Structure 1
Amino acid sequence: MPTSTFSATDTAALTRAIADSAHVLDGGAGDYDALLDLIGDARFVLLGEATHGTHEFYEQRARITERLIGEKGFIAVAVEADWPDAYRVNRYVRAEGGDVDAVGALGGFRRFPSWMWRNDDVVHFIDWLRAYNDARPGAARTGFYGLDLYSLFTSMEEVLRYLQQVDPAGAEEARKRYACFDHYGDDSQQYAYAAGLGSSESCQREVVATLEQIQQRAAADMQRDGIGASDAFFYAQQNARLVKNAEEYYRTMFRGRVSSWNLRDRHMAETLDALAEHLAQTRGVPAKVVVWEHNSHVGDARATEVGRLGEWTVGELARKRYGDDAFLVGFSTYDGWVTAASDWDGPAERKQVRPALAGSYEDLFHQTGLGNFMLPLRPRSAARDALLEARLQRAIGVLYLPRTERQSHYFSARLPHQFDAMIHIDTTDAVHPLEPTSHWDKGEAPETYPVGL
């Protein structure tokens, strides 16, 4: 493995090397020409974000995605969202379903943190995607899909709805199996407590049996008709698989972070694989998919301290499966504002992002003085060598806890092994929720505000 020729204290040399390789982003049409050249013919482009609530991350991912769709033939956007909620958006952008506008199509995203997808930037992108599809009558339409597994009860309802339409007797069998969950009141956390803390209560056998029922029906239909799965069946099958994996996720979430994290990222990677295979079968050509997820999922875990603890990520699994056909892009920011909560299930707040810690990647990028830029990391360069030494990297999820900044939001990483390119937006603003509350509108008190008041 090559090692850095730069001293960790030689900041001037580090920043010069980065500046020499960086492509400054000035808002022009050619901002991402160099990035698209680097992506080349890759079939999977994974676009990250350093927070779950930054306007510029959504905005720039949309700009890149629009070019990938229009110029490189990408046919799907897969995001860190639940399968049934995202599929409602998929129907809308493909001129299907009953929603009359993008805001209505996002109506399924009501669970915390709703602002991740119910925000102005997502509405703008969905409007663009619908218009792009509408402008190409007769052409295959680009879709929008979810990869996550939190929708345990919603996905059960979707499985039963599909079976009721095509196999009422089979629907009744599945309904009896899923009744195992009835006394948890559509509360997945309650099921997690009951099934995960040593209790003998578990619906594992029931969800596996229902998935097998769906798969057996698929095999019979394909043998009879000689065709692949329809979109409707594929949607139902993925919901049944989600129920099976979500049940396992909630049952194991109290056994430790690594087990539950790995199960979730494995599910997202498998959903991406299944989506690509389905689209290839229905379109007759290899599918090209853009992924929107947090850096912590998009990056290669093997380059981070959490990877050394045994965690894996969607980015790592994609690289193992697809090699150079998977291209991983991270995002970072130095300071600004973010939409986040202070507690799980808490209200969305507009919170001030502190300047990055000294010595972190974000601090180093800030010291280049370039502002916003794209940095290639896959090709060998002085900048890549300069960044091989492990540094702190910031990650803000749906919670932002500035009082415990170092412990809550930083981990060690080797950037050139984690991503193929990095996009740095020096000062960022918070994503705007569709339904901002008073907590969001008033913003956060400055850090100098008296603590005791």
Structure 2
Amino acid sequence: MSRKLVAAIQEQSIPLDDPAAFDQLLQEIGDAKIVMIGEATHGTSDFYRLRAEFSKRLIQEKGFAAIAVEGDWPSVYAINRFVKGYDSQPQPVKELLISSFGRWPAWMWANEDVEWFVSWLAKENQQRTPDSKIGFYGIDLYSLYESIDEVVNFLESNPSYGTDLELAKKAFSCLEPYNRMPEHYALSSAHFTDECIAEVTSLLQSIRSNEQRYPQAHEQDLNLEMNALAAKNAEAYYRAMLQDDALSWNIRDTHMVEAIKEIQSYYGEDAKIIVWEHNTHVGDAAATSMADQGLTNVGQLIREQYGRKHTYAIGFGTYEGTVIAGSSWGETPEEMNIPPTRFNTWEGQLHAAGAQDKLLLFNDKNRKQFDEWIGHRAIGVVYNPEFEAYGNFVPSRVSERYDAFLYIDRSSALRPLSW
């Protein structure tokens, strides 16, 4: 690996303890409508804390209207109801997060850093008029059954919407035989007709075509449509899951982009949206080896659909530290050590340039200095440190993948609320 990269990092990085670091980042963002803020793991406190702190400034100084996160719509919508004051008898924040995020990996959102930010956002919204309150929404699609439940329950409590209720019941009946386990649906999907596909598609189409009928109070219309959208795309995701990894990944990220655009449309075409997701979703896939596997992602699609001058992507990384993760899917989460990475990786180069936290800004003047291919660390909800060299580094052209990068030399695990 060329020492020129280390020299370029030393020359152009901004220490994160410099009070002006975020000022410069805000200036670079300019008038972007979509700002995507990543994370290199799903269990690092530093990433969550800094992402939240910068989002506060985007909200207060740049007028951003909502945050869209890598979480399921029904669970995260409970947080939106809380921060917007829709609940007459709200739970304490800690209890709300624990009860809303009971499914593995619960620690992603039921943790102390999210608790702090949700508390801040609720207080911020108390000072705002009803039409200027900041929203907080989930854009993932794992909530196949939860979203169908939400639609059916709403329509049953509002019997005047009989046509859509019948469509919702048909969709529910089609999916119900699989014991409310999407994995069973995935295993069975290769052997049945297109009935379930048609049912969830018809439900979404009907709700969209009749959206003016549904009450706007407490965003009931948005909640109904987004649950129908999640159910439709979740059905397609689980159907593809066991057949084609690239297809299921692309269905998921395409859904998240569709959800972002629906949220923005709800707030108005000029509304500005913050996106919180893993680096692998927000960093442009076209600048990584993911493209060789036929994968796209949110960052790439958002850039293509909005144009680069209207979007901004911020990545995160760490050299070593601790993280919350499971050793396999569904296993009890634990605090694990992240070992120091090799010199010939992006994080290794950042460490070699000086063992301090830093910010790098990429623009037309300097992108070429940072666009060589290099391994960039990514840790998900499942992690095995002893094997990370074989599967946790994504070859990337970092300055093309992101517009800015926040580096934490030694990071710390977040604290789950259930511990």
TM-score higher than 0.5: yes
User: Higher mean Cα deviation, 179-188 or 137-146?
Assistant: 137-146
Q: Is 2:352 aligned against 1:367?
A: yes
Which residue in the other structure is 1:445 paired with?
none
For 1:276 and 1:141, locate their aligned partners in 2 and report how far apart those are by CA, in whole Å.
14
Q: What are the Cα deviations for residues 395-426 of structure 1, in whole angstroms up to 9, with x where unaligned?
A: 00001111221222112111111000011011
- Letter in structure 1 aligned against 2:300: E
Q: Once the 2 structures are TM-superposed, how far is the Cα of residue 218 of structure 1 from its aligned partner?
A: 2.0
For 2:257 and 2:249, locate their aligned partners in 1 and report how far apart those are by CA, in whole Å.
12
Alignment check: 8 A CA contact 2:47 2:316 kept = yes
Instruction: Find 1:216's aligned residue among 209, 218, 228.
Output: 209
Instruction: Find 2:42's aligned residue among 52, 55, 72.
Output: 52
Which residue in the other structure is 1:426 paired with?
409
In structure 1, runs of 5+ residues without a counterpart are 1-7, 437-453
For 1:130 and 1:352, locate their aligned partners in 2 and report how far apart those are by CA, in whole Å.
34
Instruction: Find 1:304's aligned residue among 258, 274, 288.
Output: 288
Which residue in the other structure is 2:297 paired with?
313
Q: Once the 2 structures are TM-superposed, how far is the Cα of residue 228 of structure 1 from its aligned partner?
A: 8.6
- Letter in structure 2 aligned against 1:214: I
Instruction: Find 1:194's aligned residue among 155, 172, 188.
Output: 188
Which residue in the other structure is 1:38 paired with?
28
For 2:21 and 2:91, locate their aligned partners in 1 and report how far apart those are by CA, in whole Å.
33
Q: Once the 2 structures are TM-superposed, how far is the Cα of residue 18 of structure 1 from its aligned partner?
A: 1.1
Alignment check: 8 A CA contact 2:343 2:352 kept = no
Q: How many residues align?
A: 414
Q: Is 2:223 aligned against 1:256?
A: no
3-state SS of paired residue (1:337): strand
For 1:199 and 1:342, locate their aligned partners in 2 and report how far apart those are by CA, in whole Å.
34
Q: What are the Cα deviations for residues 96-136 of structure 1, in whole angstroms up to 9, with x where unaligned?
A: 12423222332221111000000000000000101111123
Q: Is 2:56 aligned against 1:63?
A: no
The 1:408/1:94 distance shift into structure 2, 3 A limit, reads: same
For 1:296 and 1:203, locate their aligned partners in 2 and report how far apart those are by CA, in whole Å.
30
Q: Is 2:260 aligned against 1:272?
A: yes
Q: Once the 2 structures are TM-superposed, how far is the Cα of residue 217 of structure 1 from its aligned partner?
A: 2.1
- Letter in structure 2 aligned against 1:144: F
For 2:382 and 2:363, locate their aligned partners in 1 and report how far apart those are by CA, in whole Å.
31
Q: Once the 2 structures are TM-superposed, how far is the Cα of residue 174 of structure 1 from its aligned partner?
A: 2.1
Q: Once the 2 structures are TM-superposed, how far is the Cα of residue 198 of structure 1 from its aligned partner?
A: 4.1
- Letter in structure 1 aligned against 2:257: A
User: Higher mean Cα deviation, 97-106 or 47-56?
Assistant: 97-106
Instruction: Find 1:241's aligned residue among 217, 229, 233.
Output: 229
In structure 2, runs of 5+ residues without a counterpart are none
Alignment check: 8 A CA contact 1:68 1:74 kept = yes
Moved over 6 A (4+): 227-230
For 1:207 and 1:46, locate their aligned partners in 2 and report how far apart those are by CA, in whole Å.
30
Which residue in the other structure is 2:374 paired with?
391
Instruction: Find 1:178's aligned residue among 159, 172, 181.
Output: 172
Q: What are the Cα deviations for residues 192-226 of structure 1, in whole angstroms up to 9, with x where unaligned?
A: 1111x44448511211121122123226x39xxxx
Alignment check: 8 A CA contact 1:53 1:340 kept = yes
3-state SS of paired residue (2:77): helix
Which residue in the other structure is 1:169 paired with?
162
Which residue in the other structure is 1:344 paired with?
329
Alignment check: 8 A CA contact 2:226 2:259 kept = yes
Which residue in the other structure is 1:101 paired with?
92
Which residue in the other structure is 2:272 paired with?
288
Alignment check: 8 A CA contact 2:347 2:377 kept = yes
Alignment check: 8 A CA contact 2:113 2:414 kept = yes
- Letter in structure 1 aligned against 2:188: A
In angstroms, what is the RMSD of aligned CA positions? 1.9
- Letter in structure 2 aligned against 1:46: M
Q: What are the Cα deviations for residues 319-378 of structure 1, in whole angstroms up to 9, with x where unaligned?
A: 011111110000000000000000101111100001112300000000111511110112
Which residue in the other structure is 1:376 paired with?
361
3-state SS of paired residue (1:403): helix
For 1:43 and 1:229, locate their aligned partners in 2 and report how far apart those are by CA, in whole Å.
26
For 1:244 and 1:67, locate their aligned partners in 2 and report how far apart those are by CA, in whole Å.
35
Instruction: Find 1:15's aligned residue among 6, 27, 39.
Output: 6
Alignment check: 8 A CA contact 2:148 2:168 kept = no
Q: Is 2:136 aligned against 1:144?
A: yes
Which residue in the other structure is 1:129 paired with?
121
Q: Once the 2 structures are TM-superposed, how far is the Cα of residue 309 of structure 1 from its aligned partner?
A: 1.8
- Letter in structure 2 aligned against 1:51: T
- Letter in structure 1 aligned against 2:35: V
Which residue in the other structure is 2:16 paired with?
25
Alignment check: 8 A CA contact 2:375 2:396 kept = yes
- Letter in structure 2 aligned against 1:359: N
User: Higher mean Cα deviation, 173-182 or 243-252?
Assistant: 173-182
Percentage of identical aligned residues: 37
Alignment check: 8 A CA contact 2:67 2:136 kept = yes
Q: What are the Cα deviations for residues 143-193 of structure 1, in whole angstroms up to 9, with x where unaligned?
A: 100110000111001111222233353324421331112221211111111
